Structure 1
Amino acid sequence: MPALSSHDASEITSADAEAQAGFAAAARLAAWRRRLLPLAAVIALLVLWELGVMIFKIRPFIAPAPTAVAMTLYGKLGMLLGNLLPTAIEAVAGFLIGNSAAILLATTFVYQRTAEEALFPIAVMFHTIPVMAYAPILVLLLGNGLEAKVAIAALICFFPTLVNMTRGLRSVSSQQMELMRILSATPSEIFFKLRLKSSLPYLFSALKIASATSVIGAIVGEWIGATTGIGALIIQATYNFDSPLLYATIVVGSAFSAAFFAVISWLERYFLKWNVAQTA
């Protein structure tokens, strides 16, 4: 095979560089497209909403215009953030407690089949009860303080994590287990270096769900009995027919839930770089 001349080699190198630059430009364009399309859709929806309120002359207490909601957000931002703080504390505390309990119970299920056979049906049965049904019971048992709201937030995000974590801990193949035994790994090494690592993609999938449901649980708890918080503010705005404040409160609560979800997603990318590399 004849050797390439320096001119031919430079042309190949230049073509490779152009191809790489083209791929990079296409990737940047796709990334911007993913960001701009949802933004454009939201702007279009808000414009249609504003026009609909103006054209059909909808009364403000029924459906306020986006501009009225924006003015309420600006004028009452301090009050909204002040009510967001207790809801955020309740949601984060419930998230931590509920998911920690689910991880511990899932670990018990993996190593104790008898415990799973006895307790998993109870967890399923409890999960089928609507949150609005057991929330008043928890308020009666724990009072109108922080404890009841945290308990509701913890319970509402407990079951998805339990199911996903149990499945993740058992996702280890028999070949992997045999290799660990050949290497004389201890039970703790098998758990932390094999089972736990294999379960992380399942766990983070559940945690992203729980990041939103824990906020819902905290708000539902505040509906039952509270004087502050996003849920209490929603009830007050509804009774006062203050629709702009109602919508602004919903926006603030949704923004916090989205931010919580984004934090969990960032943690997933940080801790699961190896998994991202495999699935890319």
Structure 2
Amino acid sequence: MIKRVTSPVLLIMFMIVLWEVSTRVLEIPKWILPAPTNILLEAYENWSNYEHHIYATVKLATIGFFASITIGFVIAMILHLLPKWKEALYPLLIVSQNIPIIVLAPLLVIWFGFGITPKLLIIILVCFFPIAVATIDGLKQTSPELIHYMKMAGANKKQIFLKLELPYALPAIFSGLKISATYSVMGAVISEWLGANEGIGVYMTLASSSFRTDRVFVAILFIMLLCFVYFAIILLLERHFLKWRREEHQ
């Protein structure tokens, strides 16, 4: 475990040192490419300016993520339990991912205004697909022999789903959740470009328009950290709920 963590950490540290040295040796202007030390200093000295923006993005991303989980899971259940519907609805799921969000965003504002609704819809459109597809694929991984055995034991469809299919689909479901967790932060930032009053996306736009490149990088840094935090939370939940899976393979 330690070796797996050490290698990427050392690589990241090497890239940061190379970045720092390059900006100083080549005397690159701060407004073009600030050094990592300048970015960290900006984040530390002006933390009070970022705090409420981070809170707004976290709140929006969290609400949108949970909404995406609900919608993605419900869609997966419908397509799994009603195979005839899958033939009609599955292509629509794929089509929904081919619509450029940047193009769709202005339409959502026209239809739903500048409130939270269009922002949540953008996050849902970005996040529900990995959850739905991963859940559908996971439910198909259940051993047919085990399903046949439970039917012979007198289990109904509900019992087969809750006691067999759902537990065996959990690894795939958590894979979809980890992808969507990181997407939710990016979806929240994109949605904030629609005209929000606060959020990391808003701060990034203001910093970019004023040529404060260091603040743009600070915003990017916070986005990356939030993505890591969301991913780590899902990873911890996965390890907790899949203890039986690890014990089964020991």
TM range (shorter): over 0.9
Is 1:269 the counterpart of 2:218 in the alignment?
no
Q: Distance in 1 between matches of 2:180 and 2:4?
A: 25
Counterpart residue number, 2:86 = 116
Deviation of residue 279 (structure 1)?
Answer: 5.3
Deviation of residue 131 (structure 1)?
Answer: 1.7
Is 1:218 the counterpart of 2:188 in the alignment?
yes
Counterpart residue number, 1:199 = 169
Deviation of residue 45 (structure 1)?
Answer: 1.4
Q: How does 1:231-246 map to 2 (within 5 A)?
A: 231-246=201-216
After superposing on structure 2, the runs of 4+ consecutive aligned residues of structure 1 that deviate more than 3 Å are 277-280
Counterpart residue number, 1:230 = 200
Counterpart residue number, 1:260 = 230
Structure 1: unaligned runs, 5 residues or longer: 1-30
Deviation of residue 46 (structure 1)?
Answer: 1.4
SS at match of 1:157: helix
Structure 2: unaligned runs, 5 residues or longer: none
Q: Distance in 2 between matches of 1:81 and 1:55?
A: 33
Larger Rg: 1 or 2? 1
Q: Distance in 1 between matches of 2:54 and 2:120?
A: 15
What amino acid does structure 1 have at the position aligned with 2:179?
I
Q: TM-score, normalised by structure 2?
A: 0.95
Query: What percent identity do the matched residue pairs reach?
Result: 32
Is 1:33 the counterpart of 2:3 in the alignment?
yes
Q: Identify the match of residue 112 of structure 2 among 136, 139, 142.
A: 142
Deviation of residue 34 (structure 1)?
Answer: 2.7
- CA displacement 1:49-95 (0-9 Å, x = unmatched): 11111111111111001111011110111221210111111111111
Q: How does 1:92-111 map to 2 (within 5 A)?
A: 92-111=62-81
Cα RMSD (Å): 1.4
- CA displacement 1:107-136 (0-9 Å, x = unmatched): 111121221112111111111112212122
Q: Distance in 2 between matches of 1:174 and 1:40?
A: 46
Counterpart residue number, 1:4 = none
What amino acid does structure 1 have at the position aligned with 2:148?
E
Q: Distance in 1 between matches of 2:108 and 2:248?
A: 44
Corresponding residue pairs, total? 250
Q: Distance in 2 between matches of 1:189 and 1:130?
A: 41
Is 1:182 the counterpart of 2:152 in the alignment?
yes
